[in-house]
Amino acid sequence: MKNTIETLSNEKRIISASDEFKANATHSDPEIYKLAAADRLGFWEAQASQLHWFSPWTSVLEWERPFAKWFVGGTINASYNCLDVHLDTDRRDKAAVVWEGELGDVRTFTYAELHHEVARFSTVLTTRYGIQKGDRVTIYMPLIPESVVAILACARIGAIHSVVFGGFSAQSLIDRIHDSGSRLVITADGGYRRGKVVPLKSIVDEAMEKCPAIEAVVVVRHVRNEIKMQPGRDDEYQSVMADTTDLQEAVPMDSEDPLFILYTSGTTGKPKGIVHTTGGYMAHAKYSAQLVFDLKPSDVYWCTADVGWITGHTYLVYGPLANGATVMMYEGSPDYPDKDRFWEVIERHKVTILYTAPTAIRAFMKWGNHLPEKHDLSSLRLLGSVGEPINPEAWMWYYTVIGKGRCPVVDTWWQTETGGIMISTLPALSPMRPGYTGLPLPGIDVQVLHESGKPVEIGGGLLSIMSPWPSMARGIWGDNDRFKSVYWDTFDTYFAGDGATVDDDGYIMVLGRVDDVLNVAGHRIGTMEVESALVEFDGVAEAAVVGIADELKGQAILAFVILKEGVTPSDEFERAAIDWVSKAIGAIAKPKRIIFTPDLPKTRSGKIMRRLLKSVANGQPLGDVTTLANPEVVGFLEQQLSIKVDLSYPPTN
């Protein structure tokens, strides 16, 4: 049965899920919003009770702004809640993870098998490497089942995992290892990306030269390329596992023991290690995955994010496994070997729920309808979007071409810091509006605020989360002053850094970042990080980086560079500087183009006027320029930009 589309006006398109979807949804009574609002803490206690606790909590919330403690005194284990809880049920022998490699090989782990693998690897971590509760372990892996094993094996013994996305450079890995104080690295020989091997182990080798505190490196043999193994430091995962039969029990953790650190970009050159703890994070992960995706054990659920991002943590590992679903994992690129790979995966594995990013959806749109139409996508029943604003056009395409007007689309807004979804369409509870993420989840208290901190009733402002929630970040690893100043100095309540509008029905549309953080293809990148990398390149005197609108990626990076005396601008220099950024941070941070300039627009006190640069770069009105000390530079930059009309050269990422 098709859903009904009711168009009130061009502005207000309202789409309802089918009666069938609503009838089968686990949560379909809108009373849940009222229930949660009437007794928020009681509501969260009920959600936390869905988990297995070794011992109960004594108080629900202790709040000393900005630090929260949830389910205080309770003991729990995240790995136990993803694995052990299923062993005495009929989920024991169903697939927990179905993995497809880029080459087409498929590996399946039932819940019993995944439990076995994880428990053995926990034994390896404790007995062979002496890893204990509270130790940090860095995971730098491709998207293979062992990345899930590594995460859950750490959680099982209370080691704090710090997953670093496999696309980051050796330098980014070094910075994250140092900041977290990791003792151990878990990696793989390599991963596949568009048919090519990404040589992860050799990147780790390069990083290890600067990481003397790392005692051991465990290497999963995956692509079986030639690698160097340093005796006494490096071990093959397969061989250390072969020596181990003991199954490590899940160790009870305090609800507030850290579960993981995940680095994310901010407005300075240094990424922030966001800390999440165990009980509250798991309560929200389980609840939100069930509520937003209507996730059931019968689902084959595919979140296309990498484990290196928060989406991979909460909605590829912890949330879906806690709900006993089957998690689909695909290692590689959506266009390999052909541009219909995603649709092939869905057809082959009968995927029921797809959770992906607008940047991918826009690429699929561009590649053409004939590709999804070649495949049987009738197994799908729900579609999700995350990571950046989804434009109504892409929303409608996703809904009609992929979902055939049958599958509701959920647009989910959240952040690394929020741990889980905060705002989302809930199609069984309230209608969908393309372009709008919808209402805050029951139990979550979000408002759009004026700069003064007063709530906006209808119109635009800044997103803020008004009350503490269980999966909120507990701090920045080693830098709680920064935690306070970034998130808690703007308002009394949590400042998200996103602009948004709110409509008369309470629906929220998220507009994007209001700070110097870019969102390129759904990945957060700090302008300062890119600028610091650029000024380290030989010949660069000064750099300023802004985001420009990009049809596919949402935003692309444009850099303005002042060269040192005697250095001549050239295409070669541009290319070399772009490659340098890729080497320094990772390919996701590559500028699309560099504009060379003798000067940058500055205030009389010498500060770069980034706002003005952004307007120039995006061809927008310049606004107030009274404080500009060197107006002549604006005309020069406009002229340079018009010469480099085709900003797509050279091709990046």
* Smallest separation, CB 510 to ligand WTA (Å): 4
Candidate segments 35-43, 134-142, 510-518, 587-595, binder of ligand WTA by CB under 6 A = 510-518
Residue 512 binds to ligand WTA (criterion: CB under 6 A): yes
x-marked contacts with ligand WTA along 265-304 as a string, rule CB under 6 A: ----------------------------------------
Strand, helix or coil for residue 342? helix
* Smallest separation, CB 14 to ligand WTA (Å): 18
Residues 358-387 that bind ligand WTA (CB under 6 A): 386-387
* Smallest separation, CB 417 to ligand WTA (Å): 7
Interface residue with ligand WTA, options 308, 497, 591, 601 (CB under 6 A)? 497
Residue 437 binds to ligand WTA (criterion: CB under 6 A): yes
Q: Would you tell me how many other CB atoms lie within 10 Å of the CB of residue 37? A: 12
Residue 521 binds to ligand WTA (criterion: CB under 6 A): no
Residue 529 binds to ligand WTA (criterion: CB under 6 A): no
The length of the chain is 653
Residue 553 binds to ligand WTA (criterion: CB under 6 A): no
| Closest CB to ligand WTA among residues 126, 424 | 424
| Closest CB to ligand WTA among residues 310, 634 | 310
Residue 311 binds to ligand WTA (criterion: CB under 6 A): yes
Residue 415 binds to ligand WTA (criterion: CB under 6 A): yes
Strand, helix or coil for residue 481? helix
* Smallest separation, CB 584 to ligand WTA (Å): 20
Residues 229-268 that bind ligand WTA (CB under 6 A): 264
Residue 447 binds to ligand WTA (criterion: CB under 6 A): no
| Closest CB to ligand WTA among residues 255, 288 | 288
x-marked contacts with ligand WTA along 314-353 as a string, rule CB under 6 A: ----------------------------------------
Q: Long-range contact list for 475-481, CB < 8 A, 24+ apart? A: 475/67, 475/275, 476/272, 476/273, 476/274, 476/275, 477/179, 477/180, 477/261, 477/272, 477/273, 477/274, 477/275, 478/179, 478/273, 479/272, 479/273, 480/67
d(CA 571, CA 165): 30
Cis peptide before 337 (omega within 30 of 0): yes
Residue 102 binds to ligand WTA (criterion: CB under 6 A): no
Interface residue with ligand WTA, options 71, 413, 494, 596 (CB under 6 A)? 413
* Smallest separation, CB 525 to ligand WTA (Å): 10
* Smallest separation, CB 390 to ligand WTA (Å): 7
Region of residue 3 (left: phi > 0; alpha: psi -120 to 50; beta: else): beta
The two structure tokens encoding residue 123:
């034994």
Judging by beta carbons within 10 Å of its beta carbon (0-12, 13-18, 19+), is residue 202 exposed, middle or buried? middle
Residue 312 binds to ligand WTA (criterion: CB under 6 A): no
Pairing of β 136-140 and β 59-64: unpaired
Closest residue by beta carbon to ligand WTA: 416
Candidate segments 107-115, 281-289, 454-462, 492-500, binder of ligand WTA by CB under 6 A = 492-500
Alpha helix (H) residue ranges in 197-352:
200-208, 237-242, 279-293, 310-312, 319-322, 341-349
Residue 136 binds to ligand WTA (criterion: CB under 6 A): no
Please give the order of strands across the beta sheet that includes 494-502.
446-449, 459-465, 494-502, 508-513
Query: Which residue(s) pair with 75 in the sheet?
Result: 55, 254
| Closest CB to ligand WTA among residues 114, 449 | 449
Q: Would you tell me how many other CB atoms lie within 10 Å of the CB of residue 492? A: 13
Interface residue with ligand WTA, options 3, 77, 416, 490 (CB under 6 A)? 416
Contacts of 210 (CB under 8 A, 6+ apart): 174
DSSP per-residue letters across 521-584? TTEEEEHHHHHHHHHTSTTEEEEEEEEEEETTTEEEEEEEEEEPTTPPP-HHHHHHHHHHHHHH
Count interface residues toward ligand WTA (CB under 6 A). Answer: 23
Candidate segments 293-301, 308-316, 342-350, 633-641, binder of ligand WTA by CB under 6 A = 308-316
Residue 389 binds to ligand WTA (criterion: CB under 6 A): yes
Residue 494 binds to ligand WTA (criterion: CB under 6 A): no
Interface residue with ligand WTA, options 121, 140, 355, 414 (CB under 6 A)? 414
d(CA 88, CA 107): 23
Reduced DSSP (H G I as helix, E B as strand, rest coil) percent helix, strand, coil of the chain, to 5: 30, 25, 40
| Closest CB to ligand WTA among residues 192, 398 | 398
Residue 310 binds to ligand WTA (criterion: CB under 6 A): yes
| Closest CB to ligand WTA among residues 264, 597 | 264
d(CA 392, CA 385): 12
Cα dist. 74→31, 70, 77 in Å? 29, 9, 10
Residue 412 binds to ligand WTA (criterion: CB under 6 A): yes
Helix pair angle (527-535, 571-584), 10° resolution: 120
Residues that bind ligand WTA (CB under 6 A): 264, 309-311, 386-389, 411-416, 437, 496-498, 510, 512-513, 519, 524
